[in-house]
Amino acid sequence: MIIRWLSHCIVTAAAAALLCAPAAASITTPGVISKTVAAAPSCLSYRVEGVCFFLYCSFGCRIRTSIKISHYVPDVVVSTFNSPTQHPWKDVGVPVASALTGAGSTITGRLLDSSAGSLDAGSGLATFKSADAIGNPAGQFAALLASGGSMTLPTTIAVPSVSELSKFASQGLPAISRSWANVPSSVADTVGKDAKAMVNAPQALMNSVSSVMKAVEGVRQALDIVDSVQQVQGAIDGVQQIAGIASSISGSGSLFCPGGATNFGLHFQSELDAPFWRGILPVEMLYAQSWVPGLGEVGNGYTQTWGNVYPRTGELYQPHPVKASAVLAERVASIIYKSAQPHIYTKVTPTSSGYRYFNAGEKRKWQMLSPIAATKCVNFGTNDSLALTSWGDGQTDSADGYAWNLWQQYTCCRRRGAYLYSIP
C-alpha cells in the first residue's frame, strides 16, 4: 500500500524561506532501507576496540580470543505524527497506527481526542504528538553478516505486552527512590515534595497501573496479528546491499554486533501507551528529572536546551516543530532501551547468545528519514542560540509528521567459550 502525500510550504511573514518544506514528505519501506544504506558510511562508525578472552574446554581447556568491536546499528525508526493517516512511514506506520486507533480509549475507559496539530511558533502553548518506534529492517544487516544466512521477513507485527511495566513496582520504583537521594534537599523538600511522598507510598498509583495492565492484555489479544507491509519483498535487495557496504568497511562480515530491535517490531506505540504518554496516570512525575531543571535535557542543560526528556509524555513546549519532534524521539528512545519503565513497550535488547555485549546502550545518533532523507547522522541538542537560523529550518513538514532513524551503538565480541576478560 503506497500513499503519496503532497505537502505545502509552511509560510510565515517572518520566515517563509526558512521553513519551506520539500514536496515529498513521506517514506516507504524500500525508501527506509535505501536511505539507511546511503547513510551507512557516515553513521556506522566501525571501530576495533580490543580483544576478548574466553576459556574453551573440550578434551582439555585452552584460551581462545575474539576481536572486540563497536559500531552503530540502525535499530528502529521513531516517528512523531498527529494522526494515523499523517504517519510519515506510509506502508508500515499508517496501517499499524490505524489498527491501534481507539486502543487508548479502550484501555483508559474514556474517550480520547486525537493528537493536537502543529504548534504556532508565536505562541507559548504546548504541542501534543503521537509517536511510535518500529524496527528498521535494514538494522538486521548485522545479524545477516554474522550468521551468513538469509533474511526472513515477517508477515505480522506483534503488539507490545506489559512485561516491562510489570517490573516497575519491584525494579523501577526503587531506582527512582535512589535518584531522589542525589537531589538537593532544598529542591526535594519543595517542588519535589509530593513526588517523593508518592514514591514512598505508591500503592494507590500501582493499583491503577495494575488495572491498565489487565486492559492492555485484553486489547493485545485482538491485535496480535497485524498486516505488516505490502512492499517487503522490494526491500530484500536493499538489505543485501547494506550488508555489502558494512562488510567492506569491517573487512570481515563476521565482525559485527547484531542489533537489539526486532525486524519490523513495534517497540512502542503511544496510543497503546495512552495512560502514560498522555499523563493520565502521572507516573512520570515520580522522577526527579521531571522536577529538577538541567537533568535529562536535550542540549547542554541549564544554559541551552531544546526541551526536557522527562516527563516522558507526548506534551512538549517547543516552538520549532522539527526540534519538538526530536525531543519526543529522545523520550521514546529513553523508554525502549531501559527495563522496568512505567510504559507499555517492548525493550530493545540483543538476544543473540553468540556475542558478549559491553555497552549499556546509551550512545545513539539520529538520521532524518522524512520529510527530508539525510545521508548523515547527527546528535540532537545543537546550540544554535546565537545562529541566524534555527536547527531544523528548511526541514519542516506541513503535516507535522517526522521519521528518524535511530542508530544505536553496540560494543561486543563473538563468544568462543566462557568469557574471562577483555583488553581494554
Q: Is residue 9 part of a domain?
A: no
pLDDT of residue 405 exceeding 50, the answer is yes
Q: For the chain, give the mean pLDDT.
A: 82
Query: Global pTM?
Result: 0.88
User: Is 332 a residue whose pLDDT tops 90?
Assistant: yes
* Number of domains comprising the chain: 1
Q: Is residue 13 one of the residues assigned to a domain?
A: no
Q: What is the mean pLDDT of the segment spanning 8-30?
A: 50
| pLDDT-derived band at 66, boundaries 50, 70, 90 | very high
Res. 56: pLDDT tops 90:
yes
**N-term to C-term CA, the chain:** 49
User: Which has the higher per-residue pLDDT, 394 or 188?
Assistant: 394
C-alpha cell of residue 259: 542489533
Q: Give the C-alpha separation, 414 to 412, whole Å.
A: 7
> What is the span of the domain harbouring residue 195?
29-423
Q: Could you tell me if residue 189 is inside a domain?
A: yes
The answer as to whether 15 is a domain residue is no
Q: Which residue has the higher pLDDT, 357 or 158?
A: 357
- Count CB neighbours of 158 within 10 A: 17
Residue range 294-309: mean pLDDT, rounded: 84
Whether the predicted pLDDT of 386 surpasses 90: no
The answer to the question of residue 3 being in a domain is: no
Q: How confident is the model at residue 192 (pLDDT cuts 50, 70, 90)?
A: confident
Mention every residue, 6+ apart, whose C-beta is less than 8 A from residue 97: 81, 83, 84, 87, 130, 132, 269, 271
Residue 18 lies in a domain: no
Q: What H or E segment, with its residue span, contains residue 267?
A: strand 266-269
pLDDT tens per residue across span 161-188: 999 999 999 999 999 988 888 888 877 7
Residue 229: predicted pLDDT: 46
Q: Is the pLDDT of residue 19 over 90?
A: no
* Cβ 319 vs Cβ 119: under 8 Å: yes
**How confident is the model over 225-281, as pLDDT tens digits?**
344 444 555 555 656 655 565 556 555 555 788 889 988 889 999 999 999 999 999
Run of H or E including 72 = strand 61-81
Decide if 292 is inside a domain: yes
Please give the C-alpha separations between residue 285 and each of 132, 190, 297, in angstroms, as whole numbers.
Answer: 21, 14, 15
